[in-house]
Amino acid sequence: MTWLRAAGTMARSPVALPLGVMLGVAVVDALTGPEYNLLPVYAAGPAIAAGRGPIRTVVAMGGVAALLCLLFAAKADRFGELRMYVALVAIAYVTLAAVYTAWVRIRTERRLVDVQEVARTLEDVLFVPLPPVIGPVRLGASYVSASRTTRVGGDLYKAVPSPYGVRFVIADVQGKGLGTVRCAAVVLAAFREAGPESEDLAEVGRRIESALNRSTDGQRFVTGILAQVDPAGQLLAFNHGHPAPLLRTADGGISFVEPDEPVLPFGLTGLAGSGDPLDSVTRLTLCPGDRLLLYTDGLSEARDGDGRFYPVDERAGPLLGEGSPEEALRRVRADVAAFTGAPPDDDSALILVEFTPEAG
């Protein structure tokens, strides 16, 4: 096992592959004899080193290539001939090009590291882990990004305590890119400020709308749900053009919580005219053990190989009943992965809220 570990370490070394290639050329050069001119092929060493190694490694591989060229030129009685000098010039030019390539690659890698650091900082701001219990509810949350390098995106969630009950927001910003992340940060900041102190849940929505109007370009809208659960189990919810939450009752009943009236997404409520779209609110009384799944369309629009959407009520609903909310969400994630058979192609956020008055 020790030699296997040593072999693995050598394979990861930036000098292993270029040295191996040059040694392979040397073996072929020795076997074919002086009638073949393989001297310029040693330039493959520094060219390959540019893909992984630092600049000093590229230069070192260029030196090894030149040394091998001289040794095999002398072995074949070609030392001092024109072809030897042509091969040395070729190795020198390839080494210089490889040095430039390595320099550009290293700069790009450093920029990528900086971007990833910024992304991790944004993750810490946007996705502070939710506590397992807030007042009369137990919570679980999950976020999956379609990006392989970062989980920052336009989906967001948050839960805060207030004198009027536990308040939640889950939202999905239209579009992609940094503008989407900026909108998500604006929504979260407004909710964190207004959620714990506003007496009226509708006022929280107005504050989010106002923050979007002040801080964004007005070219994006945000679908989302604002919800509140008080100690008596009274659920209030505003659905701003968002997928309806899924309710699993303590006795196993599964149903969607559809809004009483449609409410436009955040960023578009000004188009509703003189009436206030936030006057419509869904009201529901939760019983102990009832669980409410809030999610973004990355879950409901996940597709299998035949293009069928993930049936949230049929597949996720039965999985929500057992274990802690976090365990239930892990089962849902595993089921979605089995259903699609592929990595996610859209971000998705999930919050599972269980009404447990004894927890408070």
169-198 pLDDT, tens digit per residue, is: 999 988 776 677 788 888 999 999 999 999
* 130-359: CATH number: 3.60.40.10
> Is 309:258 a contact under the CB 8 Å cutoff?
no
Give pLDDT, residue 314: 94
The answer to whether 182 and 176 are in contact (CB under 8 A) is no
CA of residue 222 relative to chain centroid, distance: 19
pLDDT surpassing 80 at residue 213? yes
| Percentage, residues of the chain above pLDDT 70 | 85
Nearest to 239 by CA among 214, 216, 256: 256
pTM of the complete model:
0.70
Please tell me which residue, 76 or 327, carries the higher pLDDT value: 327
Mean pLDDT of the chain: 85
> Residue 9 above 50 pLDDT?
no
Phi, psi of 9 (to 5 degrees): -65, -40
Residue ranges per structural domain of the chain = 2-121, 130-359
At residue 244 the predicted structure's pLDDT band, cuts being 50, 70 and 90, is: very high
| 278 closest CA partner among 299, 262, 295 | 262
Mean pLDDT of 121-134: 77
Longest dimension (CA), the chain: 96
The pLDDT, as a whole number, for residue 279 is 56
